[in-house]
Chains A and B, each alone.
Chain A
Amino acid sequence: MAEVADVCLILEGTYPYVTGGVSGWVHQLVTALPEIRFTLFHIGATKGETVTPRYTLPPNVLGVVNVGLHGGDEEPAPPSKLSAEDWAAMKVFHDRLRDGAPPELGALLARVAPAPGAGASGHELVYGRAAWEIVTQLYEERAPTVSFVDYFWTWRFTHLPMFRLLHAPVPEARVYHTVSTGWAGLVASLVRARTGRPVLLTEHGIYANERRMEIDQADWITVQRQAPMTLMAGPGFFKELWSRLFYRLSRITYAHADLIVTIFEGNRVAQINDGADPARTLVVPNGVDLAAFGEIAPNPRVPGIFTVGFIGRVVPIKDVKTFLRAIRIVADALPGVRARVVGPVDEDEEYANECRTLAATLGIEDKIEFTGRADVKRHYADCDVIVLTSLSEGVPLVILEAYAAGIPVIASDVGACREMIHGRDAADKALGPSGLVTGIANPGATADAILTLARDPGLRKEFGEAGRTRVRTYYDEADLVRSYRSIYERMLRQAGA
């Protein structure tokens, strides 16, 4: 690429190939900053796999480089001329990681893989004698009682992506911006350690935590048999090994990022717990298009009817069933209650059908409307309150949209919901609450909250106003863009100097 980009975005299984929250965010960012020239480095699952972009890239995106983590074999390559000390440095690196010391990636890379294509090849790292010595040494030191064949293959599967990324052709840019830790974070760290170019990390969800949840549910990881006389290896040993890998990748990324951004305070605390330097952390919340949602005018209300909105996909993680049970309880005290579930029902059809059946069983099918995929703005105009019963969230866009439209919110205590409702810092808290927080999977608490707001129009108005002020002050999409523009500008200056 002749033209050197200002910012190289390092992406893992997301924009521009997969739609979703993070992808939408990236698209929003690159589109809103036309003066910054971006280049994309995308890490996909499978080597050589061709995928079609799901977004139209704006003209300030100069190009996309794709690499795959899995599949295929390593090309045979002549062995490097690394010395025994060079290889010993690898072991030291692992020991430091285990002991929680700052990872000295730069020192290791200078010896083992100073640049993509230089030093030890992927083939040598997978098949080589020296690499094998390190693996057996680590095994003997740390886990001599577990199944070696599983240990060995776990090592291969966890390390192979690293070996591939070690030699990945990352495009040249003045600043690198990784949108997660994990493999993308590793790539950013490699660049930082090799070139000293500034690295920005934006972590939406806590990557290592998300991986841990996946790993806990994975059935492809060997459960270590509990051998008699075994003291250290529990049945979850190999899951633990996988999970630890991702925590360590996060630690490496935190150690190398010049600035660590996340979208709400709770995540920032989690990052610090996982080793991020508090001085380099920053919260930049997601933003909403205030103009679009601010102009929603409430539709005339029918007396005696109270409308509760549930905006979200009908999938288990949103826990629609708790919402339905809450409506059942509300209906006993407030027969005029009406509920709308606005969101696609085709992502998990089995679950959606279960929800319909539940509504019928509860006898509230005449009070519930499943709208399917719909223009949410039209529905906000009808709603008196918006409810979230999710089991997991980051910074839910639906709360921001509701605030912009001046609607109070009831949300389960997950992700950023509490700080979005009660305020993040002193100034934010001074605005007053803009809704009510409930426990997760607690229909009674959700119902109480709905009834509280249904019976108190004054409180609704108060919450709605607080929400409107809060979203304008802290969650303006324009602010998000401004924040990143200034971060980029600062880093580009740093890179230029």
Chain B
Amino acid sequence: MAGIGFRLKRLLKEDAAGGWIRAHLYGAVVSSGPWLLSVVTLATLSVLARTVVTDAAQDLFRSMVAYTYTFTLITTGAAQMVVTRHLADELFRGRQDALRPIYRWSVGATAALHLLIAGLFYALAPELPWTLRVLGVALAVIVSCTWIAMIFVGALQDFTSVGRAFVVGSVASLVSALGLGRLAGPAGYVAGFALGQAAIFFVLSARIEREFPGESADEEWRLLRAFGRYPDLACAGLLYNVAIAIDRIVFWFSSAGWRITSWLYGSIYDTALFLAYISTVPALAVFLVRVETDFYDAYRAYYGAVIKQGTLGQVLAAKAAMATSLRNSLRGLIQIQVPITTLLVVIAPWMGPIVGLERAQVWIFRAAVVGAALHVFALFETIILLYFDRRKLGVEMAAVFLVANGSLAVASLWLGPRFYGFGYAIAALITVCWGYRRLEQTFRDLEYLTFASQPLSPKIAEA
């Protein structure tokens, strides 16, 4: 029976599901890692560097780093998800040899693109000294390439060495920023930080190149075609990364923001938000583990019942087991995240001064902590939707978050400082509810989606 779907089969094949399914998961969790680590690095730096550089230089530096992280996530957003999926597809086809060429091409293209974008950006910021402008471009290239490297790190599934790369790189960033800052002022400070980040990238690259030594021609075209095949993933990646940045961008250019120099703006909103993100680390870890162990087995059992000629009753039973497992994962997540969030909300006024929050930022921080917790739930809903290959819903989730986060940021600005941060929290809440509904629908219709959405003729994604 030729029509029995290629897509269904690939879902069952031993490591096939592991391929793109896990890739999305690792992609999300793993890319949160460096993001959080850099927030920690920045926070530590801002405490330790008080004696090294002036407050104005600190502000400038923080703003440059914030811009770099924010905008490189957006500019690599489309590529992130498509490359993730393309990689998983190629691994599914057993084309390990394609990985190194894909890595080199995507890093090369990313570097070139960001040289151009960041170059243009800093060229239009003549008030900055040229050393900082050059360093700014370098930092943008390094960070954007690191995002790409993180995708391939997902395929490595070797978190120890990746973790080590980040810890070592972050410490290097700290030490060299402080050291070079003392020697050469603000430029040295930025250069030192960039050096540490570069170290992370090169260690990761070396690891990837060692793991995937293969060579293969024409991979760039196959990679390009993947963009044509997964426009929805490109769209979801881009929208999501715009969505998580839109509130901060709105604040920069509002009355609550201030201009640091040229195009660089800051706001009281930034720091509170960055710190709030850190509170989600335990939830991320728990989710990763639970999904890996419990849910993933249930997921495989479901598709196993489908492919291995189970009865509809068996398929439905496996679906119910999978739903139970997912509920358990969510409960585990709630059990760990709710106490942490509550604690942070309560102790915020006392904790604030220690981590460098001003009085005005305490309420923003409180709202943002709640928002970040909800945000993590929304992210997980999206990942689960992608587990079931509901890519359009992935786009929809990102779009909902983008619209809500953007418009509520504007609304909170209009309502006044007392409401800063609540826009983000409510936007995340809306997205969580939206995602919950979508997940419910997906589960309700899962067997229908599994069978009836299969194409009639096996249109195998071009080999």
- Report A's interface with B, CB cutoff 8 A: 71-74, 126-129, 131-132, 136, 139-140, 144-154, 156-157, 160, 220-222, 224-225
Contacts and interface: CB of A to CB of B under 8 A. Distances in A.
A71 B457 contact: yes
B306 A149 contact: yes
Nearest to A233: B311
Interface string B319-345: 000000000000000000000000000
Q: Which of A74, A127, A154, A160 has the most CB of B within 10 A?
A: A127
B456 A160 contact: yes
A160 B452 CA distance: 13
A146 B311 contact: yes
Contact of A73 (B1, B2, B312, B456): B456
30 contacts: A71-B457, A72-B456, A72-B457, A73-B455, A73-B456, A73-B459, A74-B456, A126-B452, A129-B448, A131-B452, A132-B448, A139-B312, A140-B312, A144-B312, A147-B310, A147-B311, A148-B309, A148-B310, A148-B451, A149-B4, A149-B310, A149-B451, A150-B1, A150-B309, A151-B312, A153-B3, A156-B456, A221-B1, A222-B309, A225-B309
B448 A148 contact: no
A149 B3 CA distance: 11
B307 interface: yes
Given A72-B456, A144-B311, A154-B1, 19 more contacts: A72-B457, A73-B455, A73-B456, A73-B459, A129-B448, A136-B312, A136-B447, A147-B311, A148-B306, A148-B311, A148-B312, A149-B4, A150-B309, A151-B312, A152-B451, A153-B1, A156-B3, A222-B309, A224-B309
B309 A147 contact: yes
If over half of B's interface residues share one DSSP class (helix, strand or loop), that class is named, otherwise mixed; here it is loop
Contacts of B312: 136, 139-140, 144, 148, 151
Nearest to A123: B456
A162 to B, nearest CB: 14
Nearest to B309: A147
A74 B2 CA distance: 17
A108 B455 CA distance: 27
B453 interface: yes
A215 to B, nearest CB: 13
Contact of A149 (B309, B313, B455): B309
Nearest to B455: A73
Nearest to B445: A129
Contacts of A72: 456-457
Interface of B: 1-4, 8, 306-307, 309-315, 445, 447-448, 451-453, 455-457, 459
B1 A157 contact: yes
Contacts of B314: 148
A157 B2 CA distance: 10
Q: Sorted from nearest, which 5 A-B pairs have the closest CB atoms?
A: A147-B309, A148-B312, A73-B456, A132-B452, A152-B451
Nearest to A140: B312
Contacts of A126: 452, 456
Contacts of B448: 129, 132
A156 B453 CA distance: 12
Contacts of A153: 1, 3-4
Nearest to A127: B452
A222 B311 contact: no
Nearest to A221: B1
Nearest to A128: B452
A224 B310 CA distance: 11
Q: Which of A71, A147, A157 has the most CB of B within 10 A?
A: A147
A144 B3 contact: no
A131 B453 CA distance: 12
Q: Which of A146, A148, A221 has the most CB of B within 10 A?
A: A148
Contacts of A73: 455-457, 459
Contacts of A146: 311
Contact of A220 (B1, B307, B315): B1
A304 to B, nearest CB: 61
Q: Which of B2, B4, B314, B445 has the most CB of A within 10 A?
A: B4
Nearest to B2: A220
A78 B312 CA distance: 29
Nearest to A71: B457
A136 B311 CA distance: 11
A72 B190 CA distance: 59
A79 B385 CA distance: 25
A224 B309 CA distance: 9
B311 A145 contact: yes
A132 B1 CA distance: 20
Contacts of A136: 312, 447
Contacts of B310: 147-149
A214 to B, nearest CB: 16
Given A72-B457, A126-B456, A144 B451 contact: no
B420 to A, nearest CB: 45
Nearest to A72: B457
Contacts of B4: 149, 153
A144 B1 CA distance: 20
A132 B448 CA distance: 7
A225 B3 CA distance: 20
B307 A149 contact: yes
A451 to B, nearest CB: 52
Contacts of B447: 136
A132 B451 contact: yes
A137 to B, nearest CB: 10
Nearest to B8: A149
Nearest to B314: A148
A396 to B, nearest CB: 37
B366 to A, nearest CB: 45
Contacts of A129: 445, 448, 452
B264 to A, nearest CB: 48
A53 to B, nearest CB: 27
Contacts of A74: 456
B348 to A, nearest CB: 49
A73 B311 CA distance: 27
A269 B307 CA distance: 43
Nearest to B449: A132
Contacts of A71: 457
A157 B3 contact: yes
Nearest to A73: B456
Contacts of A222: 1, 309
Contacts of B459: 73
Contacts of A148: 306, 309-312, 314-315, 451
A149 B4 CA distance: 8
Contacts of A140: 312
Contacts of A225: 309
Q: Which of A74, A131, A145, A153 has the most CB of B within 10 A?
A: A153
A126 B448 CA distance: 12
A497 B448 CA distance: 49
A253 to B, nearest CB: 26
A140 B311 CA distance: 9
B21 to A, nearest CB: 20
A206 B244 CA distance: 68
Q: Which of B306, B311, B448, B451 has the most CB of A within 10 A?
A: B311
A136 B445 CA distance: 13
A151 B453 CA distance: 16
A237 B456 CA distance: 22
Given A73-B457, A221-B1, A144 B452 contact: no
A422 B309 CA distance: 53
Q: Which of A74, A149, A220 has the most CB of B within 10 A?
A: A149
Contacts of B453: 127
Contacts of A157: 1, 3
Contacts of A152: 451
Contacts of A145: 311
B301 to A, nearest CB: 15
Nearest to A131: B452
A319 B400 CA distance: 72
Nearest to A143: B311
A126 B456 CA distance: 9
A220 B1 CA distance: 6
